[in-house]
Chains A and B, each alone.
Chain A
Amino acid sequence: MSRISEEISKTRNRFSLFSKLQKNRDLGPDFWKEAEEMLIQADVGVKTSVSLIAELKDLSKKQKLTSSQDLIECLKENLKKVLSASERNLNVVGNPAVWIFVGVNGVGKTTSIGKLAFWRKSLGFQVVMAAGDTFRAAAAEQLEKWAQECNSILIRGGEGADPSSVIFDAIEHAHSASIPLVLADTAGRLHTKTNLMEELSKIERVAGKGSGTVTEILLTLDATTGQNGLEQAKKFAAAVDVTGIILTKLDSSSRGGIIFAIQEEIGIPVKFIGIGEGSQDLIQFDPDDFVEALFDFQPEN
């Protein structure tokens, strides 16, 4: 069993939505209703859930599927197909390559940067971290602790410094020291704050003027988030060129079903998932694992 399935099924053992469904072998009208409700409870959203189930109904008629097990397999395939629609490559080509982390408050941007730094270091690459969250009290200190732990360089500005210039400095530093990757933190911001979203566009612009290349802008999204996640993704994607999503806190009892709507409506793929507080607890996203884990269940003893 893969790491993600392992982590996620820990919670699914107790919370699996689909266990009831799989036991139900009859294809009565209840099956469709229950399947739809289970998707809704996973935060997939009403609209997406309804259309997924409608698609499944069509398929069951066409292929004359009668067992719930077969239908569940079809549903899984459809879900995997949705999540596989976009490339999930990570671009590290640049001198340096620059990854900027954006998202609303409290989703885990700083922690994700810390974990990613560990990951890159474990592959033998140096990173420079940029403390671009100059707003939240002690955000730079939080990143500093990660930098110390993984023995990386952190570039930070003074209290209330301009985030663009802090990130720019980090890029120039990485360039002159020939360090291939800059991980740039930004302050959490609600996507409804127009001026703060403009600040983000500026950060992207200024970072692009440095010696490096901005290759990834990763929107960090809390798996606990409900339908508002779609709005977040839309507004952030409108402000900056978001290349992927980091879905954090997937070790919780939440399922992060909003990523289906995000993929379908704005075509932004999930690239990483966060599954714990440890330095190793950020892994690359695999749609098959994710969907299997969503359905995974062990019969209760």
Chain B
Amino acid sequence: MFDTLTDRLGDIFGRLKSKGRLSESQISDVLDEVRIALLEADVNLEVAKNFQENVFSRCLEAEIHKALNPAQQVIKAVNEELISILGGESLTISFAKKSPTIILLAGLQGVGKTTNAVKLAKWFKSQGRNPLLIGADLQRPAAVEQLRTLAKSIDIPVFSQNNDPVAVASQGIEEARQTGRDVVICDTAGRLTIDEKMMQEIREISDAIEPHYTFLVVDAMTGQDAANIAESFDNKLSLDAMILTKLDGDARGGAALSAKSVVGKPIAFASTGENIDDFEQFHPDRLASRILGMGDVLTLIEKAEVAFDEEETKRATQKLISGQFTLEDFLDQMQQLKKMGPMENIIGMMPDLPPGADPSDVDESRLVRMEAIITSMTSEERNSPAIIDGSRRSRIAKGSGTSVQEVSLLLKQFKEIKRMMKGSVKPRKKNKRKGSNKRKKSKPSSRVKQKSQLDDLDSGTVGEFDLSEFGTFSN
């Protein structure tokens, strides 16, 4: 999502790196560009101005730290300020002593309240809770039907009646008490902040059910008005947190910064897709590092940890290095990767995407076809692909519903990957030896580079996902 802001800051910092010490006016020029980047990312004008001022004073204070070069100082200051705006801590939900814990959702029309009410319910369910949904959006035609259909798919009950929203909400709480549900999520109609009647209505709902938490649902694509919207809802309802939706688009999401900085309440959850499971707790620090182009490394690692069987991966890595990696292992790895979720989500989290790389370009169906090809092979073929001759190829193509060309391409790519993997380890050893044979002064820069590559390898997962592999999948 924040790609363009990342690019933008990347440009600015790229220029910074090539300069020596910065004067006050140079810092100010650079921060002007940061402000423009923020505005283009839909950060509210006032918020962007404050941001600029705060970073500027941070930079001036930072002058004292002679250890950092100017680029590092500005990056540090921008990063610190971003984190401080997005709000250091994530929200921890404490459950009411006397059940149920009541949550009220509010927001403009079309931001995704109903969908996210269900996603939130699913989230609570996965925490071992028994949620009840209240359909208090009696405004939009079929809103309650939508809620019921979605809730049914994950087996969560819905309470609603054709009544007035305030009454429906209070009766829903009563229903939860009687049926022993311990969490209640109340969906409400979308409303404009300038519609005083509707704003009063949600206030009445809030007064009637006395929610423990009130969440504002915010569309990540919102423009300059996000700050005013959040402020109006906060004034009326006293918000506890926000849910940021439609983060799977390419909106730069300045709305998050704006809303957060104006109401000062955390963004608790983020919705990252149309499936009910595309919903996660929001990590402000990670988002800040993502904005700065460092990729959402932490989220990626976390996902990988859940999905990958560690032993399995170790075994495959060993095989890769020793050159014994077979198509069978390749298939296993592909299936493990799939467990992490849609490929474009995963790639979107990676740092250092090459310019112009668009995660949504990854052709997921290509993976499915590759899987079909491999599963159409005999186990002998999978273990020693070299035996796959012309007639085997055409059999495999028929069996997998693909073409001989595709089978050949896959075999070629597999060979290539194997070669690269073997190569990625061996030359390093070689260089190292070479380096140690040479005199110390010979090539310091390449040694530094080499060291950092090794560091990447040690520090883990991310360096080992080679983007070029995904490239070969989609070509």
Contacts and interface: CB of A to CB of B under 8 A. Distances in A.
A141 interface: yes
A138 B139 contact: no
Contact of B40 (A46, A105, A114, A225): A46
A257 B45 CA distance: 14
Nearest to A13: B194
B224 A41 contact: yes
Contact of A226 (B141, B194, B251): B251
Contacts of B194: 10-11, 14-15, 251-253
Contact of B249 (A43, A146, A192): A192
Interface in A140-181: 141-142, 144-146
Contacts of B364: 195
A208 to B, nearest CB: 25
B219 A106 contact: yes
A104 B223 contact: no
Given A224-B219, A253-B192, A193 B140 contact: no
A298 to B, nearest CB: 15
A46 B36 contact: yes
Interface in A120-138: 135-138
A37 B46 CA distance: 10
Given A37-B45, A192-B248, A226-B42, A142 B221 contact: no
A146 B141 CA distance: 8
A111 to B, nearest CB: 8
A44 B36 CA distance: 13
A293 interface: no
Contacts of A111: 140
Given A43-B223, A251-B192, A254-B223, A106 B110 contact: yes
A271 interface: no
B246 A104 contact: yes
Nearest to B151: A137
Interface residues of A, number: 52
B224 A142 contact: no
B222 A194 contact: no
A251 B360 CA distance: 34
Contacts of B249: 104, 190-192, 228
Interface in A208-238: 222, 224-229, 231
Contact of A105 (B41, B246, B254, B361): B246
A105 B45 CA distance: 26
Nearest to B114: A137
A194 B224 CA distance: 28
A134 B63 CA distance: 59
Interface in A248-268: 249, 251-255, 257-258
A269 interface: no
Nearest to A148: B141
Given A41-B45, A137-B146, A228 B109 contact: no
A6 interface: no
Given A105-B110, A106-B219, A252-B193, A40 B39 contact: yes
A228 B250 CA distance: 7
Interface string B201-223: 00000000000000000010111
Contacts, number: 142
Given A104-B246, A105-B246, A224 B142 contact: no
Contacts of A251: 192, 194
B41 A227 contact: yes
B142 A226 contact: no
Contacts of A144: 142
B299 interface: no
B280 interface: no
B145 interface: yes
A142 B224 CA distance: 30
Given A137-B149, A141-B141, A226 B221 contact: yes
Given A104-B246, A138-B142, A249 B150 contact: no
Most A CB contacts (10 A, CB to CB) among B149, B219, B248 go to B219
Given A46-B40, A226-B255, A254 B225 contact: yes
B112 interface: yes
Given A40-B39, A46-B39, A194 B150 contact: no
Contacts of B255: 226
Contacts of B251: 226, 228, 231
A249 B112 contact: no
Contacts of B358: 192
Given A142-B141, A231-B250, A224 B360 contact: no
Interface in A74-99: none
Contacts of B112: 105-106
A279 B193 CA distance: 21
Contact of A145 (B142, B221, B248): B142
Nearest to B253: A228
Interface in B111-153: 111-112, 139-143, 145-146, 148-150
A257 B225 CA distance: 11
Contact of B229 (A139, A145, A222, A253): A253
Contacts of A145: 141-142
Given A137-B149, A146-B141, A108 B42 contact: no
A79 B360 CA distance: 35
Given A37-B45, A227-B40, A277 B139 contact: yes
B250 A192 contact: yes
A253 B223 contact: no
Contacts of B40: 45-47, 227
A270 interface: no
B150 A253 contact: no
B109 A225 contact: no
A255 B248 CA distance: 25
A231 B4 CA distance: 12
28 contacts: A10-B194, A41-B45, A43-B224, A104-B249, A106-B111, A106-B112, A106-B219, A111-B140, A137-B149, A138-B146, A139-B142, A141-B146, A142-B143, A192-B248, A192-B358, A192-B360, A193-B248, A194-B361, A224-B222, A226-B222, A226-B223, A229-B221, A231-B250, A249-B108, A249-B109, A251-B194, A252-B194, A277-B139
What are the 6 tightest A-B residue pairs by CB atom distance, in nearest-first order?
Answer: A226-B223, A106-B110, A226-B42, A137-B149, A145-B141, A138-B145
Given A142-B146, A226-B226, A228-B250, 5 more contacts: A137-B146, A146-B141, A190-B248, A224-B223, A228-B251
